[in-house]
Amino acid sequence: MSQLAWLEPDSLDFPPTDTALEDPNGLLAAGTTLSCEQLIAAYQQGIFPWFEDGQPVLWWSPSPRLVLLPEELHISKSMKKLLKKSEFEVTTDLAFDEVIHHCAAPRPDQQGTWITEEISEAYQEMHARGLAHSVEVWQNDELVGGLYGIAMGQIFFGESMFALTANASKYGFIYLIRALKQLNYKLIDCQVHTNHLASLGAKEIPRHDFENYLLNFIKEGSLTAEWPKDLSREQPINLSNSK
């Protein structure tokens, strides 16, 4: 039976992912610090932090892993109709702090939030370093949805999304996948199964297969990924021709 590893402060020495616990699925290590250097080292190995206030910093590597291949994006008939209406505007990296703030807000079906102040500050620093990015969805000049995550090499690691109006987060997610496909991204990490993401084409794969993607598409010494930056609220990406 595996035992939970304890990390020294600022340690980058994560245990092998195959030592992660089966219950709870994927819990790998715990510690007291959450630095950008730790996040960078963790994501290269398919490890991510997930903890609540009052808990240690918990690191996870679940198996199976929910992923989406850009070419397997599924757009429902109702979403195609919405895309053709072009009711929303979509931007990138214009309101990262606002997006993470909305993602951190408690949901009706949740007692609290895992996006603690410590998490928010760490990912804001990752954004300043060009590794964390946001997608914003606007309606009548108001931010109504969005998502954020980490981009490394040809992989995007999705972290969280929010919607203040129906389908806003799906709209932004579809925009993101289409844009990343054009930039030759190979995989979107969705972490763990949700019906919401499965409906968009995400599927579960074994941890070993997921880690092979990381080895092949995150190159040593070249972590910063190409990211769509030619968008603005005046020139949003046009999704009305979605097939």
175-208 confidence digits (pLDDT tens): 999 999 999 999 999 999 999 999 999 999 999 9
Confidence of residue 221 (pLDDT cuts 50, 70, 90): low
| Nearest residue to 213 via CA among 150, 131, 155 | 155
CATH topology for 66-217 is Aminopeptidase (3.40.630)
pLDDT over 70 at 216, yes or no: yes
Strands 155-163 and 142-152: antiparallel
Q: What percent of the chain has pLDDT over 70?
A: 90
Could you report the per-residue pLDDT of 66-100, keeping only the tens digit for each? 999 999 999 999 999 998 888 899 999 999 999 99
d(CA 214, CA 187): 9
How confident is the model at residue 243, as a pLDDT?
Answer: 46
CATH of 5-62, one of 3.40.50.11930, 2.160.20.10, 3.30.70.3550, 1.10.940.10: 3.30.70.3550
pLDDT over 80 at 135, yes or no: yes
Cα–Cα distances in angstroms (integers) from residue 243 to residues 71, 73, 90, 174, 203, in the given order: 12, 11, 18, 12, 21
Q: Which residues pair with 66 in a beta bridge?
A: 191, 204
pLDDT over 70 at 1, yes or no: no
pLDDT over 80 at 109, yes or no: no
Contact 44, 214 (CB under 8 A): yes
| Mean of pLDDT values over 130-155 | 96
d(CA 131, CA 149): 8
Cα–Cα distances in angstroms (integers) from residue 235 to residues 20, 86, 119, 146, 147, in the given order: 45, 13, 32, 17, 19
How confident is the model at residue 222, as a pLDDT?
Answer: 65
Domains 5-62 and 66-217 belong to one CATH topology: no
Q: What percent of the chain has pLDDT over 90?
A: 80
d(CA 139, CA 166): 11
Domain spans of the chain?
A: 5-62, 66-217
Give 215 or 243, the one with higher predicted confidence.
215
Contact 163, 169 (CB under 8 A): yes
pTM of the model: 0.92
How confident is the model at residue 226, as a pLDDT?
Answer: 87
| Mean of pLDDT values over 117-133 | 96
d(CA 101, CA 123): 11
| Mean of pLDDT values over 142-152 | 97
